[in-house]
Structure 1
Amino acid sequence: MILRHFGTIRGQILAIVAGSSVLTFLLFLLLLFIPGGPPSPPWPWQTTYRVAGVVQMLRATPVDQRARLLDSTQGLGLGIKLVPAATAVPCAGSSLNARDLQTALQAELGQGQPVSAHACGADERPAIQVLVPMGDSTLEVRTARIEHEPPRLSFPFFGALLFLCVGVTALSAWAAWRVVRPLRRLSDQAEAFGRDIVVAPIQEEGPLEIRRAAHAFNLMQERITASIEGRTRMLAAVSHDLRTPLTRMRLQLETDRKEISREKLIRDISLLQTMVSSALAYLSSSSQTEKKEWLDLGALLSTLCDDYEDAGAHIAYEGPLHLPFLCRPEAIQRVMCNLIDNALGFAAHVTVNATVEDGVITVEVADDGPGIAPERLKDVIEPFFRLDPSRSDRPGSVGLGLSIVNDIVQAHNGTLTLSNRVPHGLIARLVFC
């Protein structure tokens, strides 16, 4: 159970914080005890202040009165005397206490004052000799034999250190909870989304990285849900429309007629092929597997219009003959063919116009057909929407042409808008930024 807890993010964060707090506590105690560590109060500061005070008073006292001043400063474990500079002989020993006292005196008297401290004696606790030059004389101070005092480890000290460790651990636990809670919600939501596609978006909270992950997950849910719903509707629509030609073909084959209408079978087969091709085109319109490359859009539109005109359609192109456009060529050609086919299906004359201004390319496919009711202009772009499903002038249509166009245009950072012409007709406008 404990190992499982430490396998979580919260457990690992708490383990790191707790381990670092304990290590800091032990390291702090170690620094207080090891030799060479910082001087522990009160040593050497009390002795330092006494010696520094004597030195400062001697400097301010006339030479003939210094001996009387020294007599009044004897005691308290210090032996103080003035000796001629030539007869001042430093002790040969050295100790940690001597070095601590010399460092403290230099800090108190100033770095320009030559001060030296030496250990006198070879035993474990030698006395300390301090030599301070003062003109022709040298102030010699001898301390009693002292012992390096241990740190004063009292309850307030341990209480403060313990409070620090507990406070850091508590704040770290709260921070870990703040991080883990949105992650747990995200994982629960992902698991629920695997069982039920229709799931409400999760709340975007927590640190910036987790909010970004939650936002990306919500977008993924929306896209997957929309994709599944679209394909479900497509299968339902195609399945419904396939029944009519399949039923007719089966009736022809099951009747006792000796002669089967070959033309009717071919027409129904063509109808089935058209429906399947439309469905496959819709499924592949958002794949974006085709690489982008430069295309002469003006030449493409001019060539398409010429081909349709050669086939007997009344169509004309107006615009530049050379119009460079970075796109997916096959997808853009499919867009233009769908728009032209839709226009020619309901109109006698079609005009294709292309313009470019400030890097924005606009392509319009205008016809003189009946147009579309204003309240239905946005509906016809939706998948499987047909204004009149019962009409037979365009067999095989499942309402996917404009949906395919819209998906491809959006993949090229463009927009598709439909508007009615005056007095009649429809304009399909593509704008690529």
Structure 2
Amino acid sequence: MKLLFGFWQKSLTAQLLSWLLIALFASQILGLAIVWDYMQADLRGSARAELSSRAAAVARLVRTAPPTLREDLIRISSTDTSRFWISDGRPVALESWVQQAFARFEVPLGELLVASDGIAFSSMGEESQLPAGADAEYFLKGATWTVVPAADRAELPVMVRYLDFAEQNGAGVIVPFDDGQVLNAAFYKNLAPSIWRTHLPLSLALTAVLVSLVAVITVRRIASPLRQLTQAAEMLGRGEAVSPLLERGPEDIRRTAVAFNSMQERLHRFVVDRTRMLAAIGHDLRTPLTTLKLRAEMVEDIELQERMLDTIDEMQAMTEATLSLVREETSVDPTRTIDLAALVESVCDDLAELGQSVRFVSSERLNYRCRPEGLRRVIRNLIENAVRYAGGAEVRLVVDPSAVKILVEDNGPGIPVDNVEEVFAPFFRLEKSRSRETGGLGLGLSIARAIARQHGGDIILAPREPGLQAAIVLPG
């Protein structure tokens, strides 16, 4: 059940189909509830009109037939749902008449149609039409004398009496003859069957199947472009090259694809323009920096000359680092599937061979789609920072249902909480000496976060006791 609910939450087809079927069933049930009473009333009216017409026909037949044939004519006029008999014209109580009708319906039609000489007129109706366990009390439920509209009286005399019994599932007609006898006609049929015994369940099932087919086709037609849009957006978020989407489907979906293609084109154009601008600035800065360096070498004061050259070298290094940061943010390396655990372990092994204190906690094989070279640089940067400032690092790979985390943990002094986000700013350094030997230029974490975000992930720094945990969080 939990799996089905999870699938229902994730699937647009399942949700739309479920709501359509719920609406269909609700409308059918509501409509049935509204018309069911009218249907039952029409059926009962038709049954009583038919009983009156049949009683009139049998009465005419009995009047014209010889007295010796009356019993046989009455017997063979019975059907599965009707019984006829002749009695004297004395007034009869309602309950007594209903009990007589029940006694005749208890006899199966096949036995009723057997002639006095033992020859059967018909083989139909071998079983009684009464419900299982029915008795005279069942027929007496709702028994009452009634009035039948003139339109349903057929050609019966004015003195005809009508009655209902068995909760209006049965009806009776008493037709008087001129000789003082009366013709009794009784009809019984369960006119309120269970809905599951009618054609409605089959009709509802066929309608549900047709609606489901149409809904599935329609939703797939809508969901297919949306699925492609989702995949393209995810790839774009990871920094991968995305081909323009096909602009197809309904107008709203097509306009969404057009907007996505336009957005992707604008982003690409913006990045290219910015890269060109920064590359031009970096190139143009090289000439004045070279000129300054030549002029600084002509300074006679050796101490001043060294300080000037150091400043120029630092400016040149910062310029090159800025261009490197821009290239990392805009580069689109080939994306492929690799064993992420093996990649992390290889970085740790390389640094350990260089004499650095790095330990990798082994984990299971994990196939992951990424840009390996960029990710290798991120992992290496975080490990080198941990070794530089804390003396060592422990690296683990953790897989969550929604993310993949590469954790680099150390036992060093950590980073103040107020500076956790500032350290990602370009050229920001906790070490204030500005010496490249002790702290670098302050671009390592900026580049590392840029690469992580190209993969759709991020780098999160969290204090621990003691030390710091640096987590590369990648989408699962």
Give the alignment's TM-score, normalised by structure 2.
0.37
Give the alignment's TM-score, normalised by structure 1.
0.40
